[in-house]
Amino acid sequence: MEIGVEIGVATAAYQIEGAVAEDGRVPSIWDTFSHTPGRTLDGDTGDVACDHYHRMPEDVALMADLGVDAYRFSIAWPRASNLDFYDRLVDALLERGIAPLPTLFHWDLPQSIEDEGGWLSRSTAERFAEYAGHVADRLGDRVRRWITLNEPFVHMAQGYALGTHAPGHALLLGALPVAHHQLLAHGLAVAALRERGATQVMITNNCSPVLPASDDDADLAAAAVYDAFQNRLFNDPVLLGEYPDFIAGALGDVVRDGDLAAIRAPLDALGINYYNPTRVGAPPDDADLPFDIRPIEGVPTTAFGWPVVPSGLRDLLVGLRDRYGAALPPIYITENGCSTEDGTADRFRIDFLDAHLRALDDAAAAGVDVRGYFVWSLLDNFEWAEGYSQRFGLVRVDFETGERTPKDSYRWLRDSIRSGRWRR
């Protein structure tokens, strides 16, 4: 099998760094949320996490030994006043021949910006573009590839619609302005990054093939609505310059003249995070939302209980190609992976990754332009509201001592990279 893609690993700042009060870092919404009783499992916080902030050289050495081409990490907006850590990280990666692929926003909004309205406020989009320019001013001599936002759908849905993530608002459909302001932030940041020499800019959307619960009209209609929220709300404006019809109507005058042109700034690639398909049916009469998520039966599940459907990755990518046609840029799978039980004998993860890489190969064979695949994640880490209970790493982390122990999947990936299996 020869899919010929760049192979990498992915992480995010709040999930691994720790050092939340060091070197000028200001509080983020995740500091506030995780320190609020009842918000995260067992009250876990990212205060220390994997202590990557102090153990970065060791983690870069792990990546070098793994043999990855690239490392997708995120820059903490709360560290904007002192980017020295990322300066050192970028240098360490380049010394080891690993291409840096930073994401500028992976959910850790500075609390001070949330206090002024967060993503409900249009001004946050402008502030994000300034921050993007500031980071590129510092790192842009060595970093030419950027991801603007990670999974803006999840940040809107869990952070502002359901309240299960920071900042913890439960506004249901009232959260929709968060989508537009994140998209506007993306568009303005693309311009700021290009002005500073960026050669590859993308956004990372998490997408999920939607499986209607039945052929009934009501289930089909609910599935189409869900598809519009998860798969089209953030892809249509970026790729086509328009919102799905009913969402455009709901957004009303949140969208101003010129916004969609900014949001549609040409992209060099689209980042896609894939974990599983979603089965959707019609909601009960008294439901708050216009769809109902149902379990997918008869397939294995991860430790998180997520269904394992590798063919969904191929179906998703072929579906995107069919939907967007020539408007679809090359694709990077910027996250794919699974949580497993604690331990280093993780045959489950090896089988998961192998099956998904085969599905990627199938998508490439079907004509989808796939350029990269990033495993989520290098390290076991802070899994948001689930705290440290869900382990996604190729490398086990002992959260008491910080000790790293490569798992079987790490050795499998290393061997498969060394064998040239994924090279053109």
Interacting residues with ligand IFM (CB under 6 A): 12, 15, 151, 273, 335, 376, 383, 392
- How far apart are CB 54 and ligand IFM at their closest, in Å? 21
79 Cβ contact partners less than 8 Å away, ≥ 6 residues apart: 13, 23, 24, 25, 85, 86
Closest to ligand IFM by CB, 342 vs 415, is 342
* Structure-block tokens of residue 416: 């498969």
Closest to ligand IFM by CB, 28 vs 243, is 28
- How far apart are CB 377 and ligand IFM at their closest, in Å? 7
- How far apart are CB 339 and ligand IFM at their closest, in Å? 7
Rounded to whole angstroms, how far apart are CA atoms 186 and 160? 18
Rounded to whole angstroms, how far apart are CA atoms 166 and 108? 8
- Does the active-site annotation cover 383? no
* Structure-block tokens of residue 239: 């790729």
Closest to ligand IFM by CB, 151 vs 259, is 151
The one catalytic residue in 17, 58, 114, 151 is 151
Decide: 178 and 160 in contact? Cβ < 8 Å. Answer: yes
- How far apart are CB 47 and ligand IFM at their closest, in Å? 17
* Structure-block tokens of residue 331: 């694709």
Distance (Å) of CA 383 to CA 11, 128, 158, 212: 11, 24, 13, 29
Closest CA to 380 of 57, 9, 65: 9
Decide: 179 and 233 in contact? Cβ < 8 Å. Answer: yes
Q: How many CA atoms lie within 13 A of 286 on its CB side?
A: 0
- How far apart are CB 166 and ligand IFM at their closest, in Å? 12
- Does the active-site annotation cover 116? no
The secondary structure of the chain in percent helix, strand, coil, rounded to multiples of 5, reads: 45, 15, 40
Cα pseudo-dihedral 319, 322, 326, 327, rounded to 10: -50
Closest to ligand IFM by CB, 362 vs 383, is 383
Closest to ligand IFM by CB, 255 vs 413, is 413
* Structure-block tokens of residue 50: 């994997």
The one catalytic residue in 335, 341, 386, 403 is 335
Closest to ligand IFM by CB, 236 vs 383, is 383
- How far apart are CB 386 and ligand IFM at their closest, in Å? 8
Closest residue to ligand IFM: CB criterion? 12
Catalytic positions:
151, 335
